[in-house]
Amino acid sequence: MAEATGCRLEDCLIEARAVRYGPGYWISPHIDRPDKVVTQLWYFNSQWPANWQGTLRILGSPAPDDVRAEVMPHQGSSVLLVRSGESWHCVTPVAADASQDRRTLLLHFVDPAADTTAGRLAPGAHK
């Protein structure tokens, strides 16, 4: 992971989270908290039609329509996010007619010595 991202990870702790987002859930544009050095996401949906939305958007700014890349949560797909002051991202709302939850496993490489008092926009899941 260190080689793939160019980040020093040897002193990091690893946090794992399994997350399910049902219809109507979304995550607002944010930058990860300062102690998250790298996050890797894996998706576990056997199918995910485009009309179900729930896509990960890599943004160029806090504006949700400033999309630089968009990733569908297809099974077997993985994304690496390297945290920086400009690493904005969000998840679009899962459509009301989605017949399965959006399922994701997140691994956060966390620096226990990082300053977490710096200002940031906290991520939030919303319905």
CB 89 within 8 A of CB 81: yes
In order along its 127 residues, the chain shows pLDDT tens digits of 999 999 999 999 999 999 999 999 999 999 999 999 999 999 999 899 999 999 999 999 999 999 999 999 999 899 999 999 999 999 999 999 999 999 999 999 999 998 877 544 444 454 4
Residue 12 makes CB contacts below 8 A (sequence gap 6+) with: 37, 38, 109, 110, 111, 112
Domains of the chain: 2-115 (2.60.120.620)
The DSSP secondary-structure symbol of 93 reads: P
